[in-house]
Structure 1
């Protein structure tokens, strides 16, 4: 009887203490610091708020190097005033901008 009771008590103890830990706000997945979708325009990427990973994921022909260059340009020169200003970023050309123009917004 003792062989069954001790593991059952241990399991009950750990099961009862694991629930609050797993549901604690500190353990919750961190909230995204960047909004991919523009309010009212689903599927759009905001050049002024998107991080490099989001840019890489959402834009055609943009890898981590170009996405990082976009973020660094924004940090250095401030927010984009228009989508066309993306052409000022090293490595971004007209063809790449035209391919992604319908996915981009600034605000």
Structure 2
């Protein structure tokens, strides 16, 4: 075979190799880019999923008319009645009907179970009107224990705490001062704020 023919064959072979490489790069490069992009998106979705995931175990404070008040841990899917069971169940004087036992609970919640006495409606005295047309209100500075227990959410224990606070600190200056007493939180205050006063 002549040298000239050998050179021609070599040129053709090199051309074929170059064409093959060009074809490979054109067809494979987009596929690589798509694969890389998909991997990044998958990782972002996984991180996002971790961020919004809810805790599987939550802590709930159960207090009031239950046998064993305290903080309890349970599965996030548990309902209120199941957390009540963890706290030893209701006391005999618990006002069960005042709660929605089927409701879900959230991490960090405080559930107060009122007694039957605490759940009673305020008597007519507190909702009646005086001659001047204003609603009658209970004066925290002159009320007796029995009068205080007529307020919704105020049982004998809380009534005694109010009297003790009044004896120790003197007359109430504002009705909001009531929340300084242990056991009387904002929820209880909201129930009775329109029924009480510190002035005549």
1:1-107 paired onto structure 2 within 5 Å = 41-57=134-150, 59-107=151-199
- Structure 2: gaps of 5 or more residues: 1-125
Per-residue deviation, 1:43: 3.0
Alpha-carbon RMSD: 2.1
Per-residue deviation, 1:66: 0.2
Whichever structure has more helix as a proportion of its residues is: 1
Scaled by the length of structure 1, the TM-score of the pair is 0.60
Q: Distance in 1 between matches of 2:182 and 2:144?
A: 17
- Structure 1: gaps of 5 or more residues: 1-35
Number of aligned residue pairs? 71
Q: Distance in 2 between matches of 1:71 and 1:102?
A: 20
Q: Distance in 1 between matches of 2:148 and 2:157?
A: 10
**Deviation sequence 1:18-71 (CA, Å, 0-9, x none):** xxxxxxxxxxxxxxxxxx89x7544310000001110002x1011000001001
Q: Highest relative contact order (Cα 8 Å, sep 6+), 1 or 2?
A: 1
Q: Is the radius of gyration larger for structure 1 or structure 2?
A: 2
Whichever structure has more strand as a proportion of its residues is: 2
